[in-house]
DNA sequence: AAATCAAGTTTGGCCTGCCTAAATCCGCGC
DNA sequence: GCGCGGATTTAGGCAGGCCAAACTTGATTT
């Protein structure tokens, strides 16, 4: 097992999807990983082998893929992060497509401190719907203004 | 001039720094670009030539580098985006190092809609220091709690 | 058991961006 | 006109990720 120079963005994407697939269907197969990440199967095989190398996955050729303890830990953190971002973007009230695309982009770049702060912001707004409503109203106005 | 398949993150970084250097010192030279981006000079020359190819820069060997109209437009947008993010991160009250690192990471991944919404959020807080203070107080508390 | 087929894998190749080292080139100041 | 620092070229390399084409495997079907 090779040392880990901090999971790359791509690594995180793979782990995230694999984790999701396992949660959803109980297993993760190359075809589905490929489909979910919109890449080809050979790329998946190659990457899966590297992830196994690095100790994130248990992998047996032609058999199957599971998360190691380490992989599961990382995947859980990624999921947590993703959820914080989802909640935050809901506050911003953006079309789901935009939201998802942006989250995919930024989720690999945020430090734990920032994430924590962001979570705090979300908590704040979720516990203060009055403030949130006020912000939303303000947004509405400026959007209307831009459309003039 | 080659067609532009949307400026890559690296392209944006170059344009951003070059723009900054020009604003600061009136010109942008390879040594300084290299220093600012923490890469080597030959890499800069290569990239600068590609950016000229793509119509972002006016480039004359051994002479100098300036932004084209197109380059300037893009750079200005990048700068605007960066400033919105700075203001936002200030609200989150994070150590400058973390802030800068995270901004560098995410700035290439945000859609205009998200940016606009974020700007709205910043405006909201900046126009409502009372609300901001309340949020800050809440943050303080949870941080203290974590330290127990 | 043989055939078949989908899924998995291997191979070879490509592209982006970065690096190094060594050589050369240019403009400017003395 | 010489020299120096900055700029550029050349040649060679590396890592991360991606792909298409060809091949292999496990499972199902007959």
Contact A114 B142 (CB under 8 A): no
Q: Which nucleotide is nearest to B40 (CA to C1')?
A: C19
Helix (H) or strand (E) holding A59, with range, is strand A57-60
Å between A26 CA and nearest CA of chain B:
32
* Chain mean pLDDT for chain B: 91
Three-state SS for B8?
A: coil
CA–CA separation, B91 vs B102, rounded Å?
14
Count of alpha carbons within 13 Å of A69, Cβ hemisphere only? 0
pLDDT band, residue A141 (cuts 50/70/90): confident
Mean pLDDT of B13-42: 93
* Chain mean pLDDT for chain A: 93
CA–CA separation, B87 vs B118, rounded Å?
10
CA–CA separation, A8 vs A22, rounded Å?
21
Beta bridge partners of A58: A66
Residue A9 touches partner B, C-beta closer than 8 Å = no
CA–CA separation, B76 vs B67, rounded Å?
11
The gap between A65 CA and C6 C1' (Å) is: 18
Burial of B101 (0-12, 13-18, 19+ CB in 10 A): middle
Please give the pLDDT value at position A139: 85
Please give the pLDDT value at position A99: 96
Q: Contacts of residue B131 in chain A, CB cutoff 8 Å?
A: 131
Please give the pLDDT value at position B147: 64
Q: Which residues contact B100 (CB under 8 A, 6 or more apart)?
A: none
Mean pLDDT of B86-105: 95
Q: Which is more confidently placed, A4 or B136?
A: B136
Q: What percent of chain B has pLDDT over 90?
A: 85
DSSP calls for A99-120:
HHHHHHHHTTS--HHHHHHHHH
Residue A93 touches partner B, C-beta closer than 8 Å = yes
Of B36, B37, B76, B42, which Cα lies nearest the Cα of B56? B76
């Amino acid at each position: 097992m090779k040392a880990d120079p901090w999971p790359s963005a791509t690594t995180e994407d793979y782990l995230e999807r694999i984790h999701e697939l396992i949660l959803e269907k109980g297993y993760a197969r190359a075809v589905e990983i490929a489909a979910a990440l919109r890449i080809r199967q050979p790329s998946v095989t190659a990457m899966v082998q590297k992830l196994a190398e690095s100790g994130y996955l248990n992998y047996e050729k032609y058999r199957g893929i599971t998360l190691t303890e380490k992989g599961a830990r990382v995947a859980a953190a990624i999921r947590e992060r993703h959820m914080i971002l989802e909640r935050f973007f809901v506050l911003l009230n953006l079309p789901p497509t935009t939201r998802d695309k942006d989250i995919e982009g930024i989720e690999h770049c945020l430090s734990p401190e920032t994430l924590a702060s962001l979570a705090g912001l979300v908590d704040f707004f979720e516990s203060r719907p009055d403030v949130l409503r006020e912000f939303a109203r303000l947004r509405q106005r400026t959007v209307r203004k831009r459309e003039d």
